[in-house]
Structure 1
Amino acid sequence: MSLRYAYNTNGMAHHRLDDALDLLGEHGYDGVALTLDHHHLDPLAPGAPAEAQRVRARLDDLGLAAVVETGARYLLDPRAKHEPTFVTPDAPGRARRLDFLRRTVDVAGVLGAETVSFWAGVPRAGVDRGAAWEWLVEGVARLAEHAAGPGVALSFEPEPGMLVETPREWERLRDAVAQAAPGTPPLLLALDSGHCIVTGDLAPDEAVRAYADRLGTVAVEDMRRGVHEHLAWGEGDMDVPAVLAALDEVGYRRLVTVELSRDSHRAHELVPRTIAYLRAAEARAADGRTEP
């Protein structure tokens, strides 16, 4: 088994970006899942293009590949988490989200990132879901047209509680975007395996097999059934070896990312612990064992 692992910088929020990258290189990671934020390569900053070039050189020096993530909590609005989104009712807010994602695509192109991952957003109370769906399709279609220029792959992540929660709903969105933006590359699936045991629609390893040829990026972490909380290893109900075995079985060779966004205070412990855990889980999967 030869899976490639990355750690998300949203779980290293108290580290300078260069220090975070050094730590990942030191512990044998293959890449970084870079959440663009005010302190980690802010795409809205005036010097973003030059900073992206500098970070690309650091990645090359360290032998790290990249996935670009867009889940910064307060980058666009310091008073509302993750707002505005593509399902925000005011058009200027949706335009700000699109501008941010276009800038993110441009940064990803400079970094040579494998993909840009993004999500729908949570509809506010009173928002008509049909209208929200139309806003989402329009926004993703405009983003797909922009990404086609630099050839950056887009991966859409279903998130519990958001307008698009499951891979099946992602399929509907992918087809709608293909109609709205004909000729653009297909929208890939950003599969967070933990979300599968939150929504309960598919077992994580089953989702890997079902969507193997449409996966743009995959995340693993521990999580409890029915509870959307990213947990460190051994704190939840995930059968991680089963997920890794399925990824190897389908020949997945993109980065497998780890998102522990609530654990930045102990990143110095979890970064080395995570890579050791995943390599041990690979060995258990190869032996047909799922228990530690």
Structure 2
Amino acid sequence: MTARSTSGRAPQGAPATEERDEGRSRAVNSALRYAYNTNGLTSHRLSDALPFLADTGYAGVALTLDVVHLDPFAPDALAQAEKTRARCDELGLGVVVETGARYLLDPRAKHEPTLVTADAEGRARRLAYLRLACDLAEVLGAEAVSFWTGVPRPGVDRDAAWGWVVDGVRALVDSSGGRGFALAVEPEPGMLVEDCDGWARLAADAPGITLALDTGHCVVAGGYEPQEAVAAFAPHLGTVAVEGMRRGVHDHLPLDEGDVDLPAVLRALREVGYDRLVTLELSRDGHRAHEMVPRAIATLREAEQA
């Protein structure tokens, strides 16, 4: 599970060539289910965004809990979640809960506090938020809750930070594991867990988590090509994201831009029998969501045929 590959060679743990060929013939007609992340719909009301996605052909929504869409700290958050679930059920949309809102916990510090914040109170606030997100996910009928570890700030000892992450993740698994959704840790470039091998180390220290694989991050962090990561970590995938991304640059781009081989990624997902939502995150394109939402699904359908 921790093997590395920086070339076109299949990483250790991937199916053999013959098995891949057999898998391709079995899975070539398997339909993937796509979802769009609401952090790319921040100029839309959630009540408008959901039917927009359904009408455009998406099978789900990646719901980023935030001040604009289902604020988890609103007094009526649980009631909002119940209403949202009813609407998603009506529209036939599955749900993944995303927890990476920029300023939800601190209006003056992006993504802070985290599980690697030096201040114990800050780490406790992050953990409490993740537990709340899990409560909302249960109401929403979500298939996964995705979260990341955080960026160690200057002066933070990385060994100490690792211990904080392990403790936090274990506590979350203890309180929210086994509730019908996957607890999925997402490697993020620059964070303490920034690649798939880092996730594997964390999974060994904190059993009960799955992998939230952002395939675009693979071309930034290295180690595996995106399609290689799908094959190598297939049994552990809790949720998967796709987008365009340039090698070594952590900018989320439209699917038809950048260095990700999208047809290869989708083919790999079909070959391993992945049946959860495949989400798309274009958080910097909310101002043109009316163009990007249909453009993205069209690009995905075209890539499926490549």
Same fold by TM-score greater than 0.5:
yes
**Cα deviation 1:60-110 (Å, max 9, x = unaligned):** 111000000001000100000000000000011011101110000000001
Whether the 8 Å contact between 2:38 and 2:61 is mirrored in structure 1 is: yes
Q: In structure 1, which of residues 144, 168, 177 is the aligned counterpart of residue 206 of structure 2?
A: 177
How far apart are 1:200 and its partner, in Å? 1.6
Q: Tell me the TM-score normalized by structure 2.
A: 0.89
Q: Given residue 12 of structure 1, which amino acid in structure 2 is its aligned partner? A: L
Distance 1:217 1:3 in 2: 12
Amino acid at match of 2:286: S
Residues 147 and 153, structure 1, Cα contact 8 Å, conserved in 2:
no
**Partner of residue 289, structure 1:** none
- What is the match of residue 3 of structure 1? 32
SS of aligned partner of 1:135: helix
Please state whether the residue corresponding to 2:213 is helix, strand or coil.
strand
Aligned to 1:287: none
Q: Distance in 1 between matches of 2:286 and 2:78?
A: 27
**TM-aligned CA deviation for residue 27 of structure 1:** 0.4
1:149 deviation in Å? 5.9
Residues 201-216 of structure 1 mapped to structure 2, 5 A cutoff:
201-216=223-238
- Choose which of 107, 117, 121 in structure 1 pairs with 2:150: 121
2:247 to 208, 219, 225: 225
Q: Extract structure 1 runs of 4+ deviating beyond 2 A.
A: 148-152
Aligned to 1:99: 128
2:101 counterpart of 1:66: no
Partner of 2:167: 138
Relative contact order (alpha carbons < 8 A, sep ≥ 6): 1 or 2 greater? Answer: 2
Q: Does structure 1 residue 29 correspond to structure 2 residue 58?
A: yes
1:272 counterpart SS class: helix
2:112 equivalent in structure 1: 83
Given that 2:256 and 2:299 are in contact with CA atoms closer than 8 Å, whether structure 1 keeps it comes out as no
Which residue of 261, 264, 275 maps to 1:239? 261
Shift of residue 274, structure 1, vs aligned partner? 0.6
TM-score (normalised: structure 1): 0.93
Alpha-carbon shift at residue 153 of structure 1 (Å): 1.7
* Percent identity between the two aligned chains: 66
Structure 1 residue 273 corresponds to structure 2 residue 295: yes
Structure 2: segments with no counterpart, 5+ residues: 1-28
Partners of 2:71 and 2:79 in 1: CA distance: 11
The equivalent of 2:193 in structure 1 is 164
Instruction: Give the direction of change, closer, same or farther, for the CA distance of 1:217–1:149 in structure 2 (3 Å limit).
Output: closer
Q: Deviations over 1:5-24 (max 9, x none)?
A: 00000011111111111110
Aligned equivalents of 2:250 and 2:286: distance in 1?
Answer: 18
> Is the 1:9–1:33 Cα contact (8 Å) retained in structure 2?
yes
- TM-superposed CA distance for 1:39, in Å, is 1.4
**Aligned-residue offset at 1:220:** 0.6
- 3-state SS of 1:237 partner: coil
Q: How many aligned residue pairs are there?
A: 277
Alignment-derived partner of residue 5 in structure 2? none
| Segment drifting more, 229-238 vs 88-97 | 229-238
Structure 1: state its 5+ residue gaps: 179-185, 285-292
CA distance in 1, matches of 2:85, 2:268: 31
